A and B are shown apart, each in its own frame.
Chain A
Amino acid sequence: MARIFWVTCPQCRDRFYCHRDELRGKGIPLLCPYCGHRFLDSESPQIEE
């Protein structure tokens, strides 16, 4: 699998992961799978990679 990064949703605080090369620092809003909130990775309170 490609390299991933775990991201925390700033709205519901739950975590999910994304494709690093395609979405890390690209300015593309991520979609929280739990609450549907869209946010930039820079807005995440915690990122693990």
Chain B
Amino acid sequence: MAKDFRQFLEQLERDSPLEVIRIKKPVDPAAFELTALLVHLERQGKFPVLLLEQPLNLKSERAPFHFASNLYALRQRCALALGLRPADWALPLSLEYARRETQVVAPVVIGRAEAPVQEVVRTGDAVDLRDLPIVRHHRMDPAPYIDMTPVMRDPEGGFYNVAFLRTMYQGPRRLGLHMSPRHNWQIQRKYEAGKRPTPVAIIVSHHPAFYLGALNVSAFGVDDYAKIGAIMGEPLRLTASQSFGDDLLVPADAELIIEGQIPPGVKEVEGPFGEFTGYYGPQRLRPVIEVTAITHRREAILQHVFVGHRDNWIIGGIPKEGSLFNVIKGVVPTVRAVHFALSGCCRFNCYVSIDKKVDGETKQAALAALGACDFVKNVIVVDADIDVFNERDVMWAVATRVQADRDVDIIKGVKGNTLDPSQTDDIMTAKMIVDATKPVRRAFPSRVEVPKEALETVRLQDYIPLEILERLSPAPEVSGRA
């Protein structure tokens, strides 16, 4: 049986009932009710999946769908999505992604009649986006947005690219589409140059491993469907779209798909939109999608990503950790771990640990990371004794192993991210490399340590009663790994 979202949710609820909270009261996602619930929980440091049993659609009616939110806000759940144990949330999850990311698994094509995502098909005048629950996330967002993954097919190479892109509700059959100058933008540009509409399909809900796979950092030209299959651990099942037939294949086991086309030469105002950076991206002129079909499973379970919050950051970070681990390993084989910390929105700040054998490997590793992914802005390279998943440990290395005049390099005029508010250029940014490793060619002091033998022989409970130990609260900053 092919992997799908409902199967994943059922298993999550069965194995960890507190991970999924069913909300039985009607919730209006377009009136900020969902994101208000998420922020209340976030302020308490709690990140369960919320499953809305009665989400309202854009007509303020009870929609015949369920709606899931906050799926990716814990790395433990992302580990489950890849078939790992929750305890594998840190380095093992990155390394497993890295292992799978080196492979490709060709998709298989099945007939439309067998495709669950086409159990219900609406085309032509029957298409109405107002039938869907769509989330309005933040105050300055002008409309509800679908923030999942449009797929496009390159007109020359024939490969597919899947990417998280925001689409703004603009009318019953119209969406505004924001793209940064990356892979889907390249594809749409080719159609635009030929004055042809770009076929597009938005995969609104699928198994979480599908979305982790969609965020791989492969070069332009690699077929994302084959890469997603590798991350999912099985061939992705595809079927012909309703609007474009075999010219645009879509995932057969998705919960809901919106098909449409981007007409050439048409742009509308779009945004502002609260983005992954935690700031609003400005209102801009952007292409539109003319929606031609909506297909879905019966009682489909939709989802979104809570952009600008943990949910959005973590899902973006894990694939980059895996992909960059592979890239760095090519030039520095002793790389131990790569982590994108929450403090950098899991995009901008990249921590790399290496078992350095010769000076110079640090910059090799950092330059590889910077070259492989334009999101990466600041790379801190540490020794293997530093836990890159513990930001306090990383900053301790910076504090004690870095001399700014010697160990910090700035590279100007590199392609960055258009949504970074600190950039004064639309495209270009400055990148920073911090070498927080110990030197190889001169003597360096050692970390303090209590002898291992003492730690093994002296047991707390022999000196302090267990009931007192259990009542002691850890310092708030102790659980610093994230």
Question: Total interface residues on B, using CB and 8 Å?
Answer: 22
Q: Is the CB of B419 within 8 A of A1?
A: yes
Is A19 part of the binding interface, using a Cβ–Cβ cutoff of 8 Å?
A: yes
Is B421 part of the binding interface, using a Cβ–Cβ cutoff of 8 Å?
A: yes
Interface residues of B in 110-136 (CB under 8 A from A): none
Is B141 part of the binding interface, using a Cβ–Cβ cutoff of 8 Å?
A: yes
Kindly state the interface size class of chain A when it binds its partner. Answer: 10 to 19
Is A4 part of the binding interface, using a Cβ–Cβ cutoff of 8 Å?
A: yes
- A32 to B139, alpha carbons, bound, how many Å? 12
Interface residues of B in 176-230 (CB under 8 A from A): none
- A16 to B280, alpha carbons, bound, how many Å? 9
Is B103 part of the binding interface, using a Cβ–Cβ cutoff of 8 Å?
A: no
Chain B residues with Cβ below 8 Å from A31 are 142, 269, 283
Chain B residues with Cβ below 8 Å from A22 are 284-285
Most A CB within 10 A of own CB, among B280, B282, B424: B282
Which of A3, A19, A34, A36 is in CB contact (< 8 Å) with B283?
A19
Q: Is the CB of B141 within 8 A of A1?
A: no
- Bitwise interface map of B from 147 to 164 toward A, beta carbon under 8 Å scored 1, else 0: 000000000000000000
Q: Is the CB of A30 within 8 A of B283?
A: yes
- A31 to B142, alpha carbons, bound, how many Å? 8
Is B140 part of the binding interface, using a Cβ–Cβ cutoff of 8 Å?
A: yes
Chain A residues with Cβ below 8 Å from B263 are none
Chain B residues with Cβ below 8 Å from A30 are 269, 283
Chain A residues with Cβ below 8 Å from B424 are 3
Chain A residues with Cβ below 8 Å from B284 are 18-19, 22-23
Chain B residues with Cβ below 8 Å from A43 are none
Is A28 part of the binding interface, using a Cβ–Cβ cutoff of 8 Å?
A: yes
Smallest beta-carbon distance B135→chain A, Å: 15
Is B403 part of the binding interface, using a Cβ–Cβ cutoff of 8 Å?
A: no
Total number of residue pairs linking A and B with CB closer than 8 Å: 58
- A28 to B423, alpha carbons, bound, how many Å? 25
Q: Is the CB of B269 within 8 A of A23?
A: yes
Which of B143, B272, B418, B426 is in CB contact (< 8 Å) with A16?
B272
Q: Is the CB of A1 within 8 A of B421?
A: yes
Q: Is the CB of B141 within 8 A of A33?
A: yes
Smallest beta-carbon distance B11→chain A, Å: 39
A22's closest neighbor in chain B, by CB?
B285
Which of A17, A28, A29, A36 is in CB contact (< 8 Å) with B272?
A17
Chain A residues with Cβ below 8 Å from B281 are 1
Interface residues of A in 1-47 (CB under 8 A from B): 1-4, 16-19, 21-23, 28-34, 36
Q: Is the CB of B280 within 8 A of A28?
A: no
Chain A residues with Cβ below 8 Å from B283 are 16-19, 23, 30-31, 33
Chain B residues with Cβ below 8 Å from A2 are 282, 418, 425-426
Chain A residues with Cβ below 8 Å from B421 are 1
Q: Is the CB of A19 within 8 A of B282?
A: yes
- A2 to B422, alpha carbons, bound, how many Å? 9
Which of B142, B418, B419, B426 is in CB contact (< 8 Å) with A33?
B142
- A32 to B142, alpha carbons, bound, how many Å? 7
- A21 to B281, alpha carbons, bound, how many Å? 14
Which of A1, A28, A29, A34 is in CB contact (< 8 Å) with B282?
A1
A31's closest neighbor in chain B, by CB?
B269
Smallest beta-carbon distance A35→chain B, Å: 10
Smallest beta-carbon distance B143→chain A, Å: 8
- A44 to B306, alpha carbons, bound, how many Å? 32
- With A17-B280, A17-B283, A22-B284: A1-B423 Cβ-Cβ less than 8 Å: yes
- A29 to B270, alpha carbons, bound, how many Å? 11
Between A and B, 30 residue pairs with Cβ closer than 8 Å are A1-B281, A1-B418, A1-B420, A1-B421, A1-B423, A3-B424, A16-B140, A16-B272, A16-B283, A17-B282, A18-B283, A18-B284, A19-B282, A19-B283, A21-B426, A22-B284, A23-B269, A23-B283, A23-B284, A23-B285, A29-B269, A30-B269, A31-B142, A33-B140, A33-B141, A33-B142, A33-B143, A34-B140, A34-B142, A36-B142
A18-B269, A31-B269 are known contacts; what are 10 more A-B pairs with Cβ within 8 Å?
A1-B282, A1-B422, A1-B423, A2-B282, A16-B140, A16-B272, A18-B282, A22-B284, A30-B269, A33-B283
A residues contacting B by CB (< 8 A) are 1-4, 16-19, 21-23, 28-34, 36
